[in-house]
Structure 1
Amino acid sequence: MTVVFDLHTHHHRCGHALGEIEDYIQAAIEKGMDYIGIADHSPYFYSDEDQLYPGIAMGKSELANYVEEVLALKKKYKQQIHVLLGMESDFFPDHQDLYKRMYEKYPFDYVIGSVHYVNEVNIFRKGRWEGLNQAERVEVKEAYYRLIQQSAKSGMFQVLGHIDAMKGFYPAFSAIETPIIEETLKVIADEQVAIEVNTSGKTKDCGGWYPSHEILERAHHYGVSVSFGSDAHTPERVADDYHEVQRMLKEIGFKEMVFFVGKERKSVML
């Protein structure tokens, strides 16, 4: 019987997900899962405001409450499922020391590093590609992957989140030709950070999963480890497509998926 885990779930604190943390845990139990990771969006620690973007991430004042709630639920449900304390962290090179200090205060099982801003514009902003010529599109894509490289080298993260999510509302992103993805996968392999297969791409214009099949094939070539996250913003999506992802990874040639407990790598054989 295979171990079923999901490291990437959200809840109401981020302002754009539905339900309480407990709802996601109960959904995971109903699905017979072994590990459920709670990894809501990190606060904007660098901001003077408590909650810079209420529709995107929790306020700074909520972080301790978030950790306390997850730890209490971990205890409550320990006979039924392993609850993991995670965080989906933004990566801002200029503020990485601040973010690192904040995370060191709490017993995270893992932190997912996700690049959501390139040139100070959200990667999901629908109009950001309008009016750009081919050279400018290449420039933006390469800026995105250079940030992902820096995040891999930062030492802050066990997993890198949705490494081609910039295609979410701009499917043509995948066709922008540049060697930067190969370079990035080499860096990730060298740094021994995992990437996630994130099944929430199916909810965006691009359809499918993050990253693309082609990127996963190259990741396998370079020896990159792969984890799993549904990126569920509703309890129903917990572990969405988990077994399909396993089958696809096995077909590519991967032998295992990885997850983290107390920042220690665990393997699920495929």
Structure 2
Amino acid sequence: MNLLTVTSVRPLTPRMTRMTFTGPGLGEIGTWPDQQLKLLFPKPGGTAHVSDAPDVGTWYQAYLAMPDDERPWMRSFTVRSLAAGVLTVDFVLHGDDGPASAWAASARVGDVLGRFGPSPDYARPLGAADLLVFAGDETALPAIASLLELISAEQRRLVFVEVADPAEKQDVPGVRWVHRSAGEDLVSVVTAASIGPSTWVWLGGEASAVRALRRHFVGLGVSKKDIEFAGYWRRSLTQDDAPTSDDLAEAQERIAALSE
């Protein structure tokens, strides 16, 4: 693993903040669609450092061996951009005491986090269907925005992003913003859209919504291999909680999709 140092903090909306980081190894990492990494947030009085071991198995064993009160919180994030050794990550401010949100709400230049990834082993290509569909909530917006930057202007696409209210809209062209403040929800809006089977789909966000949308597109006749999906978070649960039966089923579906 490596350490990251905050080099800038900039609010994007009332509930999202963008930060840039520098750190060892960033200049050697390439770029690909939907880059994901683990960020490690130090507990009070603790450190973000775990181990210098480059091997993920050795590193993770060292992480698990740390005393609970010293082991940093680990959360998954999507890279907004990575260029010239500068990493950009957008943080959703939930307004609660979750470790990532709480850290981001008070982060300052010079603060330090731990990093593991992103790894090219998890790189997945964009689809080549007649229509590309992207759907997710605010936690998926950084990934969606970075994916859209890779698409040619001629490529047909539909983009749906659920956010709290109109103040959370960002300058991302072509998005159908779904506002919870207006009583809308992502699943209802996406399933009401007219979409045929010749489609490649990318889904991200709250796990149960992602599962519902994946079932919807499979029901429309979209091939499972043409649906990329990830449950970024679980309602009433964190990444520290044990996986549910639905989480395990989703993991099996993702493995099966990769092998098709």
Length-normalised TM-score, structure 2: 0.36
Structure with bigger strand share is: 2
- Mark the structure with the bigger radius of gyration: 2
Higher helix share: 1
